[in-house]
Amino acid sequence: MPEVTYRQALHDTLRDEMLRDENVFLMGEEIGVFEGSYKITAGLLQEFGAKRVRDAPIAEEGFVGAAIGAAMLGLRPVVEIMTINFILLAMDQIINHAAKIHYMFGGQSRVPMVIRTPGGGGQQLAATHSQNPEVWFAHTPGLKVVAPSTPADARGLLKASIRDDDPVLFLENLALYNTKGEVPEDRPDDVLPIGVADVKREGSDITIISYSRMAAVAMHVAEQLASEDGIKAEVIDLRSLRPLDRATIVDSVRKTNRAVVFEEDWRAYGIGAEVAATIQEHAFDHLDAPVRRIAAAEVPLPYAKNMELAALPTGQHLVDAVHATLDASGGVRGNGRSNGSKGQRSASRG
Amino acid sequence: MSKKSDKTAAAERPAKGATRSAGRNGQAERAEAKAKQANGTAPKYDLRNVSESAETLIGFYRQMLLIRRFEETTGEMYTRAKIGGYCHLNLGEEATIVGTMSALELRDYVFTNYREHGYILARGVDPKLIMAELFGKEAGVSKGRGGSMHLFDVESGFLGGYAIVGGQLPPATGAALAITYRGSDEVVLCQMGDATTNIGAFHESLNIAQLWKLPVIFLIVNNLYGMGTTVERASAVAELYRKACAYDMRSERVDGNDVLAVRDATRRAVEHARKESLPTLLEAVSYRFRGHSVVDPARYRPEEEVKHWRNLDPVMALAHGLREAGLIDEAGIKQIDDEINAIVVDAVRFADETPAPKPEELFTFDYATDVPNVDRSLPGDHTGITQDG
């Protein structure tokens, strides 16, 4: 399998879907002539023309709402919102309209649209350009929300999202665009199901639950924990935030008896809160320690680099949380207590 | 004339017909027009020499009377608690509704706000199914899931009543985009109230529609009040059709009490959309006879103003015009009245008797494409896990 970037996987998948179905068209700010703020749509205007790659004015409510109406008449718009922070301008259209139309009108109209948008902080973009409000959408019945962490998942889930007859929020991440991974060649069957989590790494000591960029970080942390401390961490990449694959989470925690949620959004009422609630509902008797949540500090993200770093979750926070959880519950099975890395933990904080 | 009664000014007929750019009206001309409007103008139908057939004119009357009786009955059913939630009536707006809807074809699309019972009636949807929706029944046009503010009928191209002010404009604009995308020539009519012209979605949608040359008619039903706030207190520009000039869009104002004037103005907008794929901002000035919703006693409106507009009753005016022209006699009027009453009584009987949706079908329309792990647990349950047993 060829290795490509997350960006390339998105680009190629958009192109493949546009070639497959002429009802698929792209709409968004700067996606055509400018070729996309993050170049996902580079070259597509030349190849498909302005009808299929439509530059929109800076009017999120207007063009996201227009995508809804176009979808109601049978087209399959794929809207790009430059970053998820700007989606707030379109909230009425997404929450009050896209999410409601199928149900509220008794199933008479479908809204097969995709909204692609990157989240993520950590680039000194400060408070209004660094948010991760995906939970607002994951909270809303009628929407589907996916958040792939690898190029292959990005491809499979983007295909599924475009072919799905419901509105899908497709969450990307600025820091993932340049990451690389193997992606299968174009096949009719490389569509991933929405609503199914992926056990990205198997393990028996502890379950790490994550999504989007943090799932990629979690994979590195799990490797590090294995090689340095002999800790076998299972990593669940949620991939889909709505529907949430609770069964995969619960099955894993019943096996490992411990869980840490690793997320980039704010902790209060966040994705991790829902995961933790699910675990206590369905695996209460299996838990050996409280579920921990690593999440962003609850402030509007500050600009100064050191302040920004202080607010955002890192791999080291996850390392520490894994050790703390294991320490609180008798350590790694058959491997004594996992206290070998305490020095490293304190050394690398901040 | 008191300042208050200036509000009646809005009911002027657009003497000049279509105005390409509202901004061309000079200040003096507007002042003169406003002075004329202050007297109010009942549509004095002279139907002796119009080219319309008696059948067409009587058809308009029937439709307007159906809306009138349906809405009166709806108000009554609301006070008898047969209808819940919010309920906004079209009483007084019958000429605007029938005039606009009669200028469309069945293949065209209609989006409206939440004051929409009359529009879906005028699209030819069975009154029984509309009343059933208001009663919250499975047989209702939205299967009892939508209610008064969210009527929908895909067969007649009635693509929804929308209850967030301005919410219907972007989707209506997108529907017009889909029409151009597939290269067909339907048009979209998007109705809204006067206060909607102050919200962002209005301006974004008008800009997009003109920029992308979309076949959509934005219809403002100016009934002089957004809830209890007069147009003048909410909009810096009280002649709402003039807002189109910011987007270089064709616009027109019409007397919403005059069904033929409304129909003709809508026809011009339809032609502009169908032939040239261009939008129009059309303003119809009418009046709602009751408050904002059924429970609003409308104490903010002066008595003489209400009386003034009641005298301009569009249904009565058309009946009068038909009689004056000898197109119908008292017996004919009575016969239509009886027929319409029977239809409405029948609708209420059906709505009352037909079953409510089954609670087991709470999740029936949650997603159009079913996917794994959709949580269909009930309020007292743990979150759903299919494999959990």
Q: Convert the pLDDT of each residue in A321-346 to its tens digit.
A: 999 999 999 877 655 444 444 434 33
Two tokens, residue B326: 């000898």
Neighbours of A137 (CB within 10 A): 24
* Mean predicted confidence (pLDDT) in B309-329: 95
Of B179, B372, B385, the CB nearest to A195: B372
Tokens 């227009």 sit on residue: A66
Question: How many contacts (CB atoms, under 8 Å) link A and B?
Answer: 187
Whether B371 and A243 lie within 8 Å, measured CB to CB? yes
Whether A105 and B145 lie within 8 Å, measured CB to CB? yes
The 3-state DSSP class for residue A28 equals strand
Mean pLDDT lowest among A128-142, A260-274, A276-290, B375-389: B375-389
Beta bridge partners of A206: A233
Burial B253-284 (b: 16+ CB within 10 A, else e): bbbbbbbbbbbbbbebbbebbbeebbbbbbbb
pLDDT reading at A210 higher than 60: yes
Interface of A with B in 54-93 (CB under 8 A): 56-57, 59, 61-75, 77, 92-93
Decide if B95 contacts B102 (C-beta within 8 A).
Answer: no
- Residues of B with Cβ-Cβ distance to A166 under 8 angstroms: 367-369
Whether A247 and B144 lie within 8 Å, measured CB to CB? no
Closest-CA distance, B192 to chain A, in angstroms, reads 16
Cα gap B135→B141, rounded to integer Å: 11
Active-site annotation holds for A129: yes
| Residue-range domains of chain B with CATH | 87-123+149-328 (3.40.50.970)
pLDDT at B29: 52
Q: Which of A129, A139, A282, A286 is catalytic?
A: A129
- Residues of B with Cβ-Cβ distance to A251 under 8 angstroms: 387
* Mean predicted confidence (pLDDT) in A108-129: 94
Q: How far apart are the first and last CA of chain A?
A: 38
Domains A3-182 and A198-348 share a fold: yes
Decide if B285 contacts B242 (C-beta within 8 A).
Answer: no
Nearest CA in chain A to B362: A103
Decide if A21 contacts A28 (C-beta within 8 A).
Answer: no
Q: Phi/psi of residue A221, each to 5°?
A: -65, -40
pLDDT at B38: 39
Is A198-348 in CATH node 3.40.50.920? yes
* pLDDT band at A121; cut points 50, 70, 90: confident
Beta bridge partners of B50: none
Dump the DSSP string for A120-148. ---SS--GGGS--THHHHHTSTT-EEE--
Q: Among B155, B169, B181, which would you mutate to test the A interface (most chain A Cβ atoms within 10 Å of its Cβ)?
A: B181
Instruction: Render pLDDT for B176-220 as a digit per residue (tens, 0 to 9).
Output: 999 999 999 999 999 999 999 999 999 999 999 999 999 999 999
Cα gap B261→B239, rounded to integer Å: 18
pLDDT at A333: 67
Closest-CA distance, B140 to chain A, in angstroms, reads 9
For chain B, say whether A145 makes contact (Cβ under 8 Å): no
Chain-wide mean pLDDT for chain A?
Answer: 94
Chain-wide mean pLDDT for chain B?
Answer: 90
pLDDT at B175: 98
Cα gap A99→A265, rounded to integer Å: 22
The 3-state DSSP class for residue B300 equals coil
* pLDDT band at B42; cut points 50, 70, 90: low
pLDDT at A293: 98
- Residue A195 burial (CB < 10 Å; 0-12/13-18/19+)? buried
Decide if A305 contacts A276 (C-beta within 8 A).
Answer: no
pLDDT reading at A269 higher than 60: yes
Looking at chain A, the whole-number percentage of residues with pLDDT higher than 90 is 90
From 1.10.10.10, 3.40.50.970, 3.40.50.620, 3.10.20.30, which CATH number describes the A3-182 domain? Answer: 3.40.50.970
pLDDT reading at B50 higher than 80: yes
SS3 content of chain B, % helix, strand, coil (to 5): 45, 10, 45
The 3-state DSSP class for residue B97 equals helix
pLDDT at A104: 98
Amino acid at A164: D
Whether B371 and A105 lie within 8 Å, measured CB to CB? no
Amino acid at A17: E
Closest-CA distance, B55 to chain A, in angstroms, reads 34
pLDDT reading at A348 higher than 80: no
Instruction: Render pLDDT for A73-97 as a digit per residue (tens, 0 to 9).
Output: 999 999 999 999 999 999 999 999 9
For chain A, say whether B145 makes contact (Cβ under 8 Å): yes
Instruction: Render pLDDT for B54-103 as a digit per residue (tens, 0 to 9).
Output: 999 999 999 999 999 999 999 999 999 999 999 999 999 999 999 999 99
Beta bridge partners of B284: B221, B254
Cα gap A69→B287, rounded to integer Å: 30
* pLDDT band at B46; cut points 50, 70, 90: confident
Looking at chain B, the whole-number percentage of residues with pLDDT higher than 90 is 85
- Residues of A with Cβ-Cβ distance to B123 under 8 angstroms: none
pLDDT at A20: 96
Decide if A5 contacts A177 (C-beta within 8 A).
Answer: yes
Decide if A184 contacts B362 (C-beta within 8 A).
Answer: no
pLDDT at B263: 98
Mean pLDDT lowest among A101-110, A232-241, B21-30, B123-132: B21-30
CA B50 to chain CA centroid, Å, is 26
Decide if A172 contacts A117 (C-beta within 8 A).
Answer: yes
Interface of A with B in 189-228 (CB under 8 A): 193-196
CA A245 to chain CA centroid, Å, is 14
- Residues of A with Cβ-Cβ distance to B246 under 8 angstroms: none
Q: What is the 3-state secondary structure (H, E, C) of B132-181?
A: HHHCCCCCCCCCCCCCCCCCCECCCCEEEECCCCCCCHHHHHHHHHHHHH
- Residues of B with Cβ-Cβ distance to A75 under 8 angstroms: 178, 181-182
Closest-CA distance, A140 to chain B, in angstroms, reads 11
The 3-state DSSP class for residue A25 equals strand
Instruction: Render pLDDT for B216-264 as a digit per residue (tens, 0 to 9).
Output: 999 999 999 999 999 999 999 999 999 999 999 999 999 999 999 999 9
Amino acid at A202: E
Whether B170 and A195 lie within 8 Å, measured CB to CB? no
Interface of A with B in 110-129 (CB under 8 A): 110-112
Dump the DSSP string for A246-283. HHHHHHHHHHHS-EEEEEEEESTTSHHHHHHHHHHHHS
Cα gap A205→A259, rounded to integer Å: 9
Q: Which of A17, A60, A134, A172 is catalytic?
A: A60
Delimit the domains of chain A by residue range.
3-182, 198-348
Interface of B with A in 154-183 (CB under 8 A): 154, 159-160, 162, 164, 166-167, 169-179, 181-182
For chain B, say whether A233 makes contact (Cβ under 8 Å): no
pLDDT at A273: 98
pLDDT reading at A72 higher than 80: yes
